[in-house]
Amino acid sequence: MKRVPFEQAVEELVELYAGWTIPPEKWRLCDGGSLRLQGYDIAKDYDRCVLNTVIPLQDWPWELKGDYQGFLGVFMIPPKNSKELDEHCRFVERTGFGLATHLANIDLSQIPSIVHELPSGRQIYLQKPESIVVIYDMLIEEGLNWGEMQVKTHLELVQEIERIARQRREDALAGKCRELLSKHSM
């Protein structure tokens, strides 16, 4: 599948969410995409072809069925047979990027973020690397991963963040990574 340039996909994501009445201040770009836009060239970036976002439950424009009280979690797409689901599918086909929209029972102020300006001048919010490390630790500690392979993937990504943080002399971040890796024997 052919992919558009990364920042073009992010620009199109901004438009997609805006059409669903989810403006940039109501969501965060997370994980690999967030790191990429902050200059972290992650060699083992498992999210290289997926845009991961977090949206608070109360900002999801459609009715939710079930109990979504967990901090992180639910991967969501628009309702079946809706115009918005068709738009979601066209976005994936057009850009070549998957879209993993995670709904969370949080206030976005709980996710340390930075503002990033796209080439168009639009601003979006990126999850800070420190926050990614903290959330991965929480996911591992609370058993919220989808199995050993995901734990391994998260730990490998933290190793990469640590490597880059050391190169950039971001000692506090590198220390936080080392602490998590030591705690989980890697």
The pLDDT, as a whole number, for residue 25 is 94
Higher pLDDT residue, 95 or 151? Answer: 95
The pLDDT, as a whole number, for residue 116 is 97
Tell which residue, 34, 157, 148, has the closest CA to residue 102: 34
The pLDDT, as a whole number, for residue 46 is 56
3-class secondary structure per residue, the chain: CCCCCHHHHHHHHHHHHHHCCCCHHHCEEEHHHHHHHCCCCCCCCCCCCEEEEEEEHHHCCCCCCCCCCCCCCEEECCCCCCHHHHHHHHHHHHHCCEEEEEEECCCHHHCCEEEEECCCCCEEEEECHHHHHHHHHHHHHCCCCCCHHHHHHHHHHHHHHHHHHHHCCCHHHHHHHHHHHHHCCC
- Convert the pLDDT of each residue in 28-82 to its tens digit: 999 889 999 999 987 665 556 889 999 988 898 988 776 655 555 567 889 899 9
The pLDDT, as a whole number, for residue 115 is 97
Higher pLDDT residue, 54 or 108? Answer: 54
The pLDDT, as a whole number, for residue 49 is 84
Q: What are the boundaries of each domain within the chain?
A: 1-127, 129-186
pTM score of the predicted model: 0.87
Residue 122's pLDDT band, with cuts at 50, 70 and 90, is very high
Residues 6+ apart with CB under 8 A from 58: none
100: how many CB neighbours lie within 10 A of its CB? 17
The pLDDT, as a whole number, for residue 175 is 97
- Convert the pLDDT of each residue in 57-66 to its tens digit: 889 898 877 6
Mean pLDDT of 82-88: 95
Residue 178's pLDDT band, with cuts at 50, 70 and 90, is very high
Higher pLDDT residue, 174 or 148? Answer: 174
Residue type, 167: Q
The pLDDT, as a whole number, for residue 58 is 87
What separation in angstroms does the CA of 15 have from each of 1, 41, 92, 123?
22, 26, 13, 12
